[in-house]
Amino acid sequence: MTRRSRRTSGLGKDLLDVAAIPRGEIEYLLTLAARLKDKQRRGLPHPLLQGKTLGLLFQKPSTRTRVSFEAGMNQLGGHALVLPMGDIQLSRGESVADTARVLSRYLDGIVIRTYNHATVEEWAAEATMPVINGLTDLSHPCQALSDLLTIREKKGRLRGLKIAYVGDGNNVANSLIEATAKTGMTIALGCPSGYQPDQHVIDRARLEAAGTGAAIELGHDPQIAVKEADVIYADVWISMGREREQARRLKVLAPYQVNARLVGRAKPDAIVMHCLPAHRGEEITEEVLDGPQSVIIDQAENRLHMQKAILTRLLGKRKQRAS
């Protein structure tokens, strides 16, 4: 049997998906991230996690997730320790349970970036330290939370806005659906048949949306999805682990490219977002990616500030183990 760990904050012990975060906690994280960003911009030290150590265990390549967590932990006065899979005994058959229990004695928290979502759930069940989902095939909660921060910065609010997600209904789409349902936004999805987001995520988010005034609009036509949108969102068509499907995906998703013509169907002041890395000329054109409506670099920067808010919230309340 797995053990249930005590709750340490409004987030609970862990951060595995956006759906499990209370609405008020999302607002708290957004406010905290904005404050931490202001402190950094003003050159004010904020060693809120002095003496804490974060583990980073990545089974998938990463740029923004790894660097933002590592840099963020250092800026908070703590230390980040990268754990290459090939260098630890998990790669030689040690169980997740044994690894999680031991590392909980060494670390104050861990970020897991892996394929199967059940893997991070197993880590969370076995570890007594906080477990943060750095990305699975089902969900990318840290990305979606930082995207909310960017949208609120650019638009001054979240409730009542419309975000159009165009392309492959992947893990990022799933987490954006959960995030918009929590914050009273409308999300309109233009995804081809067979490439729509997870149905369980949609069903659960619709229950949440009923209490916030949010709306989830599913469709196959990107032209309809972007109509009157405040935000247009694109992501890669060939996610990690889907490389063998490249030829078929490129053919099916070709009509879903975010280009100047598609952006022109949204509101004139719509912003364009992409979680990166981008395949220029595939899911988004270079003209749009580098254009005046693009906020992708600000969006990428905000990964750092939201990561710091998440770390402060989860690790900051974990009691130091007595010597």
Give the pLDDT confidence of 228-285 residue by residue, as tens digits: 999 999 999 998 777 888 999 999 999 999 999 999 999 999 999 999 999 999 999 9
87 is catalytic: no
Catalytic annotation present for 40 = no
Alpha-helix residue ranges (DSSP H) falling in the chain: 23-41, 64-75, 96-106, 117-126, 141-155, 171-183, 199-209, 222-225, 246-253, 260-263, 286-289, 296-315
Quickly state the pLDDT bin for 320 (edges 50, 70, 90). very low
Of 75, 117, 137, 143, the active-site residue reads 143
**235 belongs to the catalytic site:** yes
CATH of the domain at 38: 3.40.50.1370
Query: Is 303 a known ligand-binding residue?
Result: yes
What is the arithmetic mean of pLDDT over 49-66? 96
Instruction: Give the separation between CA 258 and CA 282, rounded to whole angstroms.
Output: 9
- The single residue of 275, 299, 305, 313 carrying the catalytic annotation is 275
Sign of CA dihedral 8, 13, 16, 17: negative
Annotated catalytic, 246?
no
Q: Amino acid identity, residue 99?
A: T
- Strands of the sheet containing 131-135, edge to edge, are 79-82, 53-58, 109-113, 131-135
Q: Into how many domains does the chain fold?
A: 2
Do 310 and 283 share a structural domain?
Answer: no
pLDDT greater than 70 at residue 322: no
Pairing of strands 215-219, 231-234: unpaired
Mean confidence (pLDDT) of the chain:
94
pLDDT at position 319 is 52
Shared domain check, 100 and 163: no
Residues 46 and 181 in one domain: no
The question of whether 152 is a catalytic residue gets the answer no
Please tell me which residue in 17, 235, 249, 313 is annotated as part of the active site.
235
Co-location of 171 and 74 in the same domain? no
Q: Is 7 exposed, middle or buried (0-12, 13-18, 19+ CB in 10 A)?
A: exposed
Residues linked to residue 163 through DSSP beta bridges, in sequence order: 187, 231
236 part of a folded domain: yes
Predicted confidence at residue 17, as pLDDT, reads 98
- Specify whether the CB–CB gap between 71 and 278 falls below 8 A: no
User: Is residue 170 part of an annotated ligand binding site?
Assistant: no
Give catalytic status of residue 303 as yes or no: yes
Rounded to 5 degrees, what are φ and ψ at 284? Answer: -150, 145
235 is in an annotated binding site: yes
Q: Is the pLDDT reported for residue 130 higher than 50? A: yes
The reply, when asked if residue 212 is annotated as ligand binding, is no
